[in-house]
Amino acid sequence: MAVNTLSPTVVSVRSAKPAYVYGATATVPLVTSAASGNVRVGMPSDMPANATVTSAILTFQQAGALAGSITVQIQRHSANWQASKATWNNRPGVSGTVVSVTKTAPADGTLWAFDVTADVAAFVGGTVANYGWRLNSTSATAVNTRGSAASVGKPTLVITYMTPTDAPINLVPAGNQSVSVAKPWLTFQAPPDTTAINVQIDADMAAAYDFDSGDVNATTGSLDLTTTAFGGLVAGTPKYWRARTKSSLGYSAFSGWVQMQRTAKPTVTITSPGATTDDTTPPVVWSVAGGTQVSWQVIITVAGKVVADSGQTVGTETTWTPPKAVSTIGTSATAEVRIWDAVDRVATAGDPVYANATLTFTAQGTGSVTPATGMTAVPDGFAPFVTITGTRAAAPDSWQVVRDNTYIASGLSPASANLAAYQDWTADPNKPHTYRAAPYTNGVGTASGGPTVTVTPTCLGIWLVDPVTPTIRAVIWGDNDGDWDATELAVVHQPVAGPPVRRVIYRPPLSGSVTGELVDVAGQTADAQITSLYDFKSNNRDLRLVLGDRNLLVRVGDLLITPTPDSDLDRHSLVSFSWWQQDTPPWSP
């Protein structure tokens, strides 16, 4: 809302000297049929034509006291006039509504205020020419008002008005931005008081527009072209569009014209895995046609929950292998491959900026391969590993080990009827696990059946093990189980009834520190373990940290080994290190 206070020019005209130019005087007498005032004021230059005038009050101050009932009137002039030549004889006619104000025995200095809102709104809107007003009195007694030449108490015109918002901005799509559908959503910034929007589309921004939406009821700046009669974008043929908004104050100005175009997305085809796979960490392979891949992303979900996500990665690679098992045997998972090309695209509802393809696969063995006839799974009893063996009448091409319906090792003991002893150092300790030795035949798959053994590996102390060469390891003893940082990202929902429900959104990788002692244990001396620790310190690589009921893939740092003599002069060593989990933690259950 804006307020402008203006100073009108008031010219006195009198019948006593009908051809005399009185001009702008300090006092303007008003006498019925004998003296009146011609009033004019220019509209503010900064007031736009689409402004809504909410109030316009023209005020005059009375000079001298009067008795009785006095009525003063004002009415719009119907013709032009010049202040320097205004006389009683050439005063213009009047038209429009007469605005009258009556006062009884008005005192000196009384203000006479006339509501001329309708006239000023017509002047601003251009529907009526601004020729000002005639100020007159119905009384034969002179009503003297202070004129525009008075030293004090000059007349004023106070205009209050509002303007519609500026033209919309932030139009999308715009410029070189592309969409891939014929009828996208068009969006732009609209003010909160919007009641309707208007969109025009044209091939050359000519006056005869290809499409005009007319007024579309809306409170936001968005238009779904599928709900309109717009014919649709043709690939390779740009169109231009613009928009305006409407509120209780009227229309805003139109935005500038912006370009939009339709460009087809590439076609993505997932070529691997197939509908079934022997691999619970299957490589996802895809091909791209009809465009140039500049970045990609693979997302694998099980029962609608994300279990692996490569993140958007810049590059032309067409293969990605999840870092850990994404499903168990007999469970289906869905792989989605997303591809971004070099085109500057914008997303609209139902049309993301990437091309994508999905494929559902099931990790499943086959009954066409003869299973093992026997197997063993034996925990060490002290160290946190399990030794698995298998037997079969005829040699398969290789062996696989399955733990808890997940393949954990493949390509073992090739072309042998017996699975040589395989040590599993990756199972969570102190909880039961079910193992199966599974024969594998090239081109056919993994046997789906066979004997199973359920065992519980134990863990005493804290173990740090090289998973490639498990003999390189250290066992830390003591009362300290380590410091953990295991913050979870979670939200708490409050149902209408019942207790709050906490839902874990994501579990970040764990980290922490360990402090303890090295002693001769598990067939290794403390000195041998010191050698292993120095090897870990000098060669930064992935290790297994096993403690409690956890078996984590970690990197270690800040490794400190302190040999300390005890009271009987034997030697033991204190060790401390920090660790950071490396394998991707699961998403929320």
CATH topology of domain 374-455: Immunoglobulin-like (2.60.40)
* Cα 508-509-513 angle, rounded to 5 deg: 130
Pairing mode, if any, of strands 284-289 and 178-179?
Answer: unpaired
Domains 374-455 and 462-581 share a fold: no
Q: Which long-range contacts (CB under 8 A, 24 or more apart) does 582-586 make?
A: 582/509, 582/542, 582/553, 582/554, 582/555, 583/323, 583/324, 583/509, 583/552, 583/553, 584/308, 584/323, 584/324, 584/509, 585/506, 585/507, 585/508, 585/509, 585/510, 586/307, 586/507
Pairing mode, if any, of strands 355-363 and 398-403?
Answer: unpaired
Which residue is associated with the tokens 């900064």?
A: 46
Strands (E), 526-581: 543-547, 550-565, 571-581
> From first to last of its 589 residues, what are the pLDDT tens digits of the chain?
688 999 999 999 999 999 999 999 999 999 999 999 999 999 988 887 778 888 999 999 999 999 999 999 999 999 999 999 999 999 999 999 999 999 999 999 999 999 999 999 999 888 999 999 999 999 998 999 999 999 999 999 999 988 777 789 999 999 989 999 999 999 999 988 899 999 999 999 987 899 999 999 999 999 999 999 999 999 989 999 999 999 887 888 899 999 999 999 999 999 999 998 888 889 999 999 999 999 999 999 999 999 899 999 999 999 999 988 888 888 899 999 999 999 999 988 888 999 999 999 998 888 999 999 999 999 998 889 999 999 999 999 999 999 999 888 889 999 999 999 999 999 999 999 999 999 999 988 899 999 999 999 998 889 999 988 898 899 988 766 667 776 667 778 777 777 887 776 666 788 889 988 888 877 788 888 888 988 888 888 899 999 888 999 999 989 998 877 665 545 578 899 999 998 755 433 2
Q: What token pair was written down for 118?
A: 């309708």
**From the candidate CATH numbers 1.10.1060.10, 2.60.40.10, 3.20.20.140, 3.40.720.10, the one assigned to the domain spanning 169-262:** 2.60.40.10
Q: What token pair was written down for 489?
A: 């990202």
User: Do the beta carbons of residue 575 and residue 515 sit within 8 Å?
Assistant: yes
Supply the pLDDT for residue 488.
67
User: Do the beta carbons of residue 239 and residue 202 sit within 8 Å?
Assistant: yes
Q: Which residues contact 249 (CB under 8 A, 6 or more apart)?
A: 50, 52, 162, 163, 164, 193
Supply the pLDDT for residue 509.
82
Q: Dihedral of CA 549/551/556/562: which sign?
A: positive
Q: Which residues contact 251 (CB under 8 A, 6 or more apart)?
A: 50, 164, 198, 244, 245
Classify domain 268-363 at the CATH superfamily level: Immunoglobulins (2.60.40.10)
Let me know if 455 is exposed, middle or buried by CB neighbors in 10 A (0-12, 13-18, 19+): middle
Strands (E), 131-183: 133-137, 143-146, 156-162, 169-172, 178-179
Residue 138: which of 101, 95, 97 has the closest Cα? Answer: 101
Q: What token pair was written down for 178?
A: 């592309």
* Cα separation, 243 vs 256, whole angstroms: 8
Supply the pLDDT for residue 587.
37
- Percent of the chain's residues with pLDDT above 90: 66
Q: What token pair was written down for 181?
A: 């559908």
**From the candidate CATH numbers 2.40.30, 1.20.120, 1.10.287, 2.60.120, the one assigned to the domain spanning 462-581:** 2.40.30
Q: Cα torsion for 115, 46, 206, 258, to the nearest 10°?
A: -120
Supply the pLDDT for residue 481.
64
Q: Could you tell me the residue ranges of all domains in the chain?
A: 2-162, 169-262, 268-363, 374-455, 462-581
Q: Which residues contact 539 (CB under 8 A, 6 or more apart)?
A: none
Supply the pLDDT for residue 401.
95
The length of the chain, given as a count of residues: 589
* Cα separation, 5 vs 7, whole angstroms: 7
* Cα separation, 416 vs 392, whole angstroms: 9
* Cα separation, 3 vs 57, whole angstroms: 11
What backbone phi and psi angles, to 5 degrees, belong to 530? -60, -40
Let me know if 235 is exposed, middle or buried by CB neighbors in 10 A (0-12, 13-18, 19+): exposed
Q: Which uninterrupted H or E stretch holds 121?
A: helix 117-125
Q: Which residues contact 111 (CB under 8 A, 6 or more apart)?
A: 59, 60, 61, 62
The amino acid occupying position 48 is: P
* Cα separation, 384 vs 552, whole angstroms: 12
